Amino acid sequence: MDSGVEQTRELPQEIDTKTDTRDILARETKYQKDKGFHDWTIVDVDAHHSEMSSWREVVEYLDDPILKHYAQEFQARTGGAPGLSNHMPGLRYQDAGGRIPHQTHMGEAVDDSANHRDITLIRRSMDAMGLDHQILFPGNLLQLGTHPQPRVEAHLALAYNRWVCERILPVDDRVKTLLYLPISEPDMCMKIIKEFGDNPNVSGFMITAVRYKPVHHNQFIPIYRELEERGLPLAFHAGLTWGDDWMKQLDLFISMHAISFVLCNIVHMTNWIIHGMQERFPKLDVIWIESGLAWLAFLMQRLDSEYLMRPSEAPLLKKLPSEYMADMYYTCQPIETSNMALTEETFKAVKAETQLLYASDWPHWDFNPPSTIYDLPFLDEQAKRNILGENAVKLFGIDTKKPRTA
Amino acid sequence: MAELFVGREDEFEDRGRKVIAHGDLEIGVFFVDGGFYAYENKCVHQGGPVCQGRILNRVVEMISDDKTSQGLAWSEDDVHIVCPWHGYEFNLKTGVHPGYKNARLRPFDVKLKDGEVYVVT
């Protein structure tokens, strides 16, 4: 007789810092198959690995013998990171007091000794989230723009770039990067662009937005000119700092993170627009990364209003600031959706169907899986396909027919 | 309607749980302050495996009679489940987010029978 009781299987009780990435993201894997978008082309334009876990390897790529000695001595005394870096201990609150386990430790077992551990972790996340291609960035090095020693920033940037291009990127054709440009040292930037500009795994270059030099300064112009001539995109990757005077008033991580990650790009975008950089470099593709989207509608209206009253202070402009902003590219993460009507209007304002790029930000605490875009109620299928992958395919010239090595 | 076997009552310690799957449906069953509570293992935010997150008491802020803050403390009454994807928190007895009543987990009835625990779907 049927008892009416059905059998079940038991799942792990708790996801922790040692849980396999594929298990953490299993719901996304299944959701994509259920909804039928697992075979769409999905390009993740912002994901991270933890270069500090490989810091011992990275500093070996320093070509300055004295800085290298300092870094090695730090390791001998402290066991490795963060020698030479300027990472603030107070910024290690991303896991909300241990509540969000997938960023801070990443202690899952890896049995693939043939490849660097980072490659295995990257592949696991890409497979779990159905990603075809990924743009990879460092983690703590995004703070380097405020390093009190610009020369150290420049040499660490070069060392990291050489390490990631030699040890990480060649292993998997699906993984590319926008390489770090330490713009405090323009000569080093030019050296880096010349050394890596033709590297097939380098899709463009990136300026960390947490820094205090105005991006329109004449000393940076040759960098932008070189990138435009080479047809390589330039990205501004947002970040956070508690060292900024305004941020010092925000005494909780939630507050500082909410504002600092946006404020840096608001400042750089304002300078970029008002000083006519889009007129000076009309063929340079510019991408704004990891500030979310809500700031864009605000800044568009704000700058338009000011410009209409004071055009003499922005004489290079031939159209409204919001029109220049709609010509640039944006990554979606961390997307704000608590008011879907505002989200929809923002999508219209930035012409999301052609200008918005999906980004996961995995493994960070506020990551967005691809379903975040797929589930938006106001997008048709083509818009979803564009944002999840097609826009990035066009922007970076990704060959989607090339066989994958993975 | 189906009854899904979860386990024996005596397998649950206070604040203990089991997360079970039946086909595509995943359910977390929790034992808190002498009562059983069950929710779908799917966060209302972005679909994360909420029932497999950490169980922590709610954090409260102590405000004195003169309205000054006296710092933070653990609630003695409210127990939360925290989604491991992004940190959304829900009261384990109500399934509701502490600051947004529209964010609530999908609940299931729990049935106890001869020392065994079942959820009704």
Q: What is the per-residue DSSP string for A252-270?
A: SHHHHHHHHHHHHHHHHHH
> Which CATH number applies to B3-115: 3.10.270.10, 2.102.10.10, 3.30.70.1400, 3.30.450.80?
2.102.10.10
Round to whole Å and give the CA distance between B106 and B95: 7
**DSSP reduced 3-state for B103:** coil
- pLDDT beneath 70: ranges in chain A: 1-4, 78-83, 86-91, 402-406
What are the residues whose beta carbons fall under 8 Å from the beta carbon of A172, sequence distance 6 or more? A119, A122, A123, A404, A405, A406
Domain range annotation of chain B: 3-115
Domains of chain A and any CATH numbers: 26-49+118-396 (3.20.20.140)
Other Cβ atoms within 10 Å of A44 Cβ, number: 32
Nearest to A11 among B2, B21, B24 (CB): B21
Query: Cα dist. B3→A84, A354, B22, B113 in Å?
Result: 60, 49, 10, 11
Tell me which chain B residues have a C-beta less than 8 angstroms from the C-beta of A9: 20-22
Encoding tokens for residue B44? 């209302």
Which pLDDT score, from 0 to 100, does residue A112 have?
81
**Which residues 100-159 in chain A show a CB within 8 A of chain B?**
100-102
Residues 6 or more apart whose CB falls under 8 angstroms from that of A37 comprise A130, A370, A374, A384, A388
Q: What pLDDT, on the 0 to 100 scale, is given for residue A3?
A: 60
> DSSP for A329-385?
EEE-PSPP-SSHHHHHHHHHHTTHHHHEE----TTSTT---THHHHT-TT--HHHHH
Q: What is the pLDDT of residue A406?
A: 44
Closest-CA residue of chain A to B16: A13
Helix (H, G, I), strand (E, B) or coil at A182: coil
Q: Give the model's pLDDT for residue A84.
A: 74
Regarding predicted confidence, which is higher, A297 or B1? A297
Report d(CA B32, CA A230) in Å as an integer.
62
Query: Which among A5, A10, A28 has the least Cβ separation from residue B18?
Result: A10
Q: Which residues of B touch A30 (CB under 8 A)?
A: 24
pLDDT of amino acid A82: 58
- Chain B interface, Cβ < 8 Å to A: 2-6, 17-22, 24, 26, 41-42, 46-49, 52-54, 56, 82, 84-87, 89, 118
For residue A180, the cross-strand partners are A206
Quick check: B84 and A31 CB within 8 A? Answer: no
CA angle, A144 then A148 then A151, to 5°: 75
Q: What is the pLDDT of residue A140?
A: 86
| Mean pLDDT value across residues B31-60 | 97
For A101, the closest of B18, B84, B89 (CB atoms) is B84
How many beta-carbon contacts under 8 Å exist across A and B? 89
Q: B120: nearest CA in chain A? A: A5
What is the reported pLDDT for A202?
98
d(CA A370, CA B12): 36
Calculate the CA B80 to chain-centre distance.
6
Q: Which residue of B lies nearest to A335 if distances are taken between CA atoms?
A: B46
pLDDT (0 to 100) of residue A389? 98
CB < 8 Å to B19, chain A: 10-13
**d(C-alpha B52, C-alpha B42), whole Å:** 10
Selecting from B46, B54, B86 the residue whose C-beta is nearest the C-beta of A98 gives: B54
Query: Looking at beta carbons, which residues of chain B come within 8 Å of A15?
Result: 49, 52-53, 84
Angle between the A340-349 and A294-309 helix axes, to the nearest 10 degrees? 50
- Tell which wins on pLDDT, B2 or A231: A231
> What digits encode the pLDDT tens for the residues A163-213?
999 999 999 999 999 999 999 999 999 999 999 999 999 999 999 999 999
Strand order in the sheet with B116-120: A5-6, B3-8, B116-120, B107-113, B35-40, B25-32, B16-22, A9-11
Q: What is the pTM of this model?
A: 0.95
B-chain residue closest to A32, CA distance: B47
* Nearest-Cα residue of chain A relative to residue B52: A14
> What strands lie across the sheet with B69-82, from one edge to the other?
B54-63, B69-82, B89-91
Return the residue in A27, A94, A336, A374 with the most chain B beta carbons within 10 A, the one to mutate for interface testing. A27
Instruction: For residue A6, give the chain B residue with the closest CA.
Output: B4
Per the CB < 8 A criterion, the answer to whether A390 and A356 are in contact is: no
Question: Do A10 and B2 lie within an 8 Å CB cutoff?
Answer: no
- Nearest alpha carbon to residue B86 among B119, B56, B43, B117: B43
pLDDT, residue B75, reads: 96
When CB atoms are compared, the residue of A8, A14, A30 closest to B54 is A14
